[in-house]
Amino acid sequence: MDVTEQSTKQAPLLQAEGVVKRYGGLAAVDGISFTVESGAIVGIAGPNGAGKTTLFDVVTGIVRADEGSITFAGEPIHKASVHHICQLGLARTFQLPSVFDTQTVAANVLAGAHFGHPHPWWSGLRTKRELLEATQRELSFAGLADRSAALAGPLAAFDKKRLMIASALASDPSLLFLDEPFGGLTPHEVDELMELLTAIRGRGITIVIIEHVMRALMALSDRVLIMNHGSKLFEGSPADVLADEEVVRVYLGRKGEQEADDASGQ
Ligand SMILES: Nc1ncnc2c1ncn2[C@@H]1O[C@H](COP(=O)(O)OP(=O)(O)OP(=O)(O)O)[C@@H](O)[C@H]1O
Ligand SMILES: [Mg+2]
């Protein structure tokens, strides 16, 4: 690599080094290091309890890492607040539907827009026009414009997933973390959501997806990271992951047996 190449090579958008999160005696995340390049879709999979959601919680500032460092967009964030991390451009959705049930769909998305805004969102009731515009834009983008006045609580599961995504997008992220966005969807909804995520990537937003629905994860991801017991079991291309004996033994094989049991009602 010559000097010009070195100087033009971009630092990763996100870089985590030796991240540990313990709950009592359990290391839910046990020394993970990983990077996310700008523009990529990175997939994360692994058995239940592997520490995937905890890793999201640590990176997004919901819980503090016990050890390790995390850098996002050139700034250390392992001691930063949830607000600050969101305002730097990292937004997320949650594994379980997390919407403000008693608020409208539009109010939920507006809350996301406020959350990502650098001025204190609790400082008054004044709403800037750009936040209202972001709300309308993301409602339409997620296919929810016709439900903007509906209450969020009674929405169907797929609409709640899209609402979480629209709210996250309204905060204007450069990096979007999605925790099991495909879980519980019908095959047709999976296809629709895959299209939506492809369109999000088309907007230049980098994505990290935790997912057990391998059809979607494999089709979307440039790179897949498999976690087990809080550690990285494997990292590579979707094709390499499917061919890895250890991943099949620890995760994919067990998952196949579980799905067969579920299908036969056991
Ligand atoms: N707040 C908490 N307090 C105590 N233990 C926790 C807490 N959150 C997670 N854990 C434990 O940490 C481990 C990792 O949990 P986590 O939810 O990160 O797994 P996961 O990989 O997301 O699993 P799943 O695929 O089922 O969502 C589990 O053993 C879990 O019980
Ligand atoms: Mg989880």
Mean pLDDT by 10 residues, the chain (266 residues): 55 97 97 97 97 98 97 96 95 96 97 83 67 95 98 97 98 98 96 98 98 95 97 95 89 70 55
**Phi, then psi, of 115 in degrees rounded to 5:** -60, -35
Q: Which atom of ligand 1 is nearest to the CA of 47?
A: 25
Q: Is the CB of 238 inside a 6 Å radius of any atom of ligand 1?
A: no
Tell me how far apart the alpha carbons of residues 134 and 114 are, in angstroms, rounded to a whole number: 10
pLDDT of residue 118: 74
One domain, residues 168 and 187: no
One domain, residues 76 and 184: yes
One domain, residues 132 and 79: no
Which residues have CB atoms below 5 A from the ion given as ligand 2? 52-53, 95
pLDDT of residue 248: 87
One domain, residues 113 and 209: no
pLDDT of residue 7: 47
One domain, residues 223 and 112: no
Q: Is the CB of 111 inside a 6 Å radius of any atom of ligand 1?
A: no
Boundary-marking domain end, from 124, 156, 172: 172
Tokens 């239940």 appear where?
48
One domain, residues 181 and 251: yes
113 closest CA partner among 130, 90, 100, 93: 130
* Ligand 1 atom 1: residue of nearest CA: 23
Range(s) of the domain holding residue 152: 97-172
Tell me how far apart the alpha carbons of residues 5 and 13 are, in angstroms, rounded to a whole number: 18
Boundary-marking domain end, from 152, 172, 192: 172
One domain, residues 72 and 179: yes
Please give the DSSP secondary-structure letter assigned to residue 28.
Answer: E
* CA 41, chain centre distance (Å): 10
One domain, residues 182 and 253: yes
Q: Is the CB of 25 inside a 6 Å radius of any atom of ligand 1?
A: no
* Ligand 1 atom 18: residue of nearest CA: 51
The Cα diameter of the chain in Å comes to 61
Is the Cβ–Cβ distance between 125 and 189 less than 8 Å? no
- Among 20, 32, 52, the mutation site with the greatest number of ligand 1 atoms within 8 A of its Cβ is 52
- Among 26, 52, 54, 258, the mutation site with the greatest number of ligand 1 atoms within 8 A of its Cβ is 54
Tell me how far apart the alpha carbons of residues 28 and 151 are, in angstroms, rounded to a whole number: 36
Q: Is the CB of 167 inside a 6 Å radius of any atom of ligand 1?
A: no
Task: Report the 10 Å Cβ neighbour count for 145.
Answer: 15
One domain, residues 110 and 46: no
How many structural domains does the chain have? 2
Is the Cβ–Cβ distance between 20 and 67 less than 8 Å? yes
